[in-house]
Amino acid sequence: MCYRICVRALTAIITYHDRENRPRNGGICVANHTSPIDVIILASDGYYAMVGQVHGGLMGVIQRAMVKACPHVWFERSEVKDRHLVAKRLTEHVQDKSKLPILIFPEGTCINNTSVMMFKKGSFEIGATVYPVAIKYDPQFGDAFWNSSKYGMVTYLLRMMTSWAIVCSVWYLPPMTRETDEDAVQFANRVKSAIARQGGLVDLLWDGGLKREKVKDTFKEEQQKLYSKMIVGNHEDRSRS
């Protein structure tokens, strides 16, 4: 009820497709991420346990209020980097069939709703059933993308509430499970491709976090090695000819 009140405050017009595929307890719901209001859009049509980092300010107030309603999985900043601890907490949650399905945005950052970028593999290593969801906003009446480097949370919400309307479509895709000959990265890419295809989004392999962080040296070295192999290979082909 609270989420539906929020949806009306945003003047959101939402069309839900294939609702028989909505996530169930013991599963993980994964979706492409455009805006913080993605949570409101999905939660107004179902019940979810949220996963994320503990925040301060307005977001912190909202998080503390949400925990009183149902069990969510919040991590302290120091805990987020501990992948084993995160996986353990998530596994314990999905194994309890009485708890709500977990809602995760594997991109880890907001993308401008034209593409789907690299999914982090953590949520695909647990072994739970994954329920993919594709969210596509129509920018004709209001752009839902949150550029956090340009707008704060309060400013962004005010912009959303004063826009003409937030028009979006939500597709619930059939549940997917990891195959025996598939690793977590391959499974994540398969789910990502299905979401991109259904939502009419571009399927990209880039890490969305690179918009704020520098490319790791290991990634640079890998590309340098590939480039050197191409040069050496071309040189060998010329010498043989």
Task: Read off the pLDDT band of 77 (50, 70, 90).
Answer: low
Contact 195, 202 (CB under 8 A): no
The tokens describing 176, both together, are: 């997917």
List, edge to edge, every strand of the sheet that includes 49-53: 12-17, 166-172, 129-138, 27-31, 102-104, 49-53, 73-75
Task: Read off the pLDDT band of 212 (50, 70, 90).
Answer: low
Task: Read off the pLDDT band of 211 (50, 70, 90).
Answer: low
Instruction: Give ∠ CA 93-86-72 in degrees, rounded to 5.
Output: 45
In 3D space, the residue among 143, 63, 141 whose CA is nearest the CA of residue 111 turns out to be 143
Strands (E), 153-217: 166-172, 202-203
The per-residue pLDDT for 49 is 85
| 64-92 mean pLDDT | 71
Least confident of 48-57, 70-79, 155-164: 70-79
Alpha-carbon distances of 52 from 49, 114, 165, 223, rounded to whole Å: 10, 24, 28, 32
pTM above 0.85, yes or no: no
| 212-233 mean pLDDT | 76
- Domain regions of the chain by residue span: 1-208
The tokens describing 29, both together, are: 């719901």
Helices (H), 10-113: 37-43, 57-69, 77-80, 83-95
In 3D space, the residue among 114, 104, 108 whose CA is nearest the CA of residue 203 turns out to be 114
Contact 121, 184 (CB under 8 A): yes
The per-residue pLDDT for 134 is 95
pLDDT, averaged across the chain? 82
Residue 194 has pLDDT above 90, yes or no: yes
Residues counted in the chain: 241
CA pair distance 56, 182, nearest whole angstrom: 39
In 3D space, the residue among 171, 230, 160 whose CA is nearest the CA of residue 20 turns out to be 171
Tell me the β-bridge partners of 116.
203
The per-residue pLDDT for 173 is 95
